[in-house]
Structure 1
């Protein structure tokens, strides 16, 4: 058992945990695969644990690594803060941030600030991942540095999906509020009809899986009236849903900002959603322990400047 430890190897361990691949970790660390493999062997010796198990999809962390992950991220954060003790300088920063993002934001929110970010901080790395049911827990455990997510203001929404229901360890600010609309292909027969709730319910609908799954507030509101929509097609990707919508008679209910983006690039028409629901909120969320981090504070201020309101 070694009597001294190479702390630089901890960065390699954290990168392997995030990438789940020796080749991707090597690319991110600007090392060869052989070098990362050798460092992984040293880590296994130092920690007396296999650390990762290989399988067809990549590397799976052992329980020891999963337990170490929050401490590792906190250690790296502390090290970065020490190096930035004289103040954060965006133009020379090499910091990396991981962000979990609501899928519609890839088309609507990220383009608002990404260009400015790349000009002001060309060395800063922002890795974006699709929001999932585990993203909030990931924020708490240090897996993500930011999340951009939606929460309901309508009291009929399940409590865990309302704005007020976020863990105390997670800080957040509202970016803006919006509502939902309907997309149909240009030339759809409903464009020649009176568009009301009855017409809406008679259509075959396309739905998209999101953080909350297949069902969301709309289904609850309709169920309270003894109504439902027929979800004849389910897809896990909003852009795939857009393509299916423009090539069929399916109706796709989505956020207004996303609809406004895709009607300009696809053969689609926009209709109002004939169901009364309160506007929902887009939130920028981050873990409490990053509240005072200079680089994190700078980045979230940039996001707020270009995305809030």
Structure 2
């Protein structure tokens, strides 16, 4: 879905960086040099995971894509190939041989695996992009943190779960190298990556992650580990208030979308965006925040919506099911 550096004195920050670099066992001679990230393991071969793998491979990284079955990996590989072919057609419009070479070269940097612990054994960076389920993510990282090199950065692509909660059962060393890297869908097109730092993350880890995001052609935005991070914390109240306007019969969905596109300059109206994100996803996040979100529990901004509940119950989840607020 679409998702301040902690204040510290100069001396304490230098101390944190120095300790972190020592733990990475690098040969760096100063705290400003960061470990090089060249080998990436992406856990989850869905559209998000395959998109992350594609972008990393496009920018010369060695990538291992992991999923539970060969069939799932084949789908992920298919997503990447189709996306790269579209890029190649724009890049080499009249040269089919150059198009094929472009796709083949990038795909050659991506290997596939159904064994996550083996796949992370040489990784510099591990990015998890599996189902939005806290227990699943916790259990996965309990395995990955032990199998990955001590220097490897561990990152979750979650859009709604607290990064600190995902890492809460890991040892202290693993918590220091654990962050959020929240990519946006579709990954090849969307420029933003939210780099989410917990209170326990080493400064060097955050800086290394920021450098990686820039190296793959994305723009990082660093934030604290709070519900929704930056984008979703602002976006969800906007979408929910649009739904409440519709419930109160203030205007139609079409007119609300038109107003926000032409009056506020948004590329998509709130209902178009809801349908694109998925109404079940929105309901899942909003219900969770309203029930137990840190600092958000009981907040009327995230109160349940009858209209949203009805649409989800009817299976009208948006673009992915062909029907949501609109028919597709």
TM-score, normalised to structure 1, is: 0.29
Bigger helix fraction: 2
- Name the larger-Rg structure: 1
Structure number with higher strand proportion? 1
TM-score by length of 2: 0.28
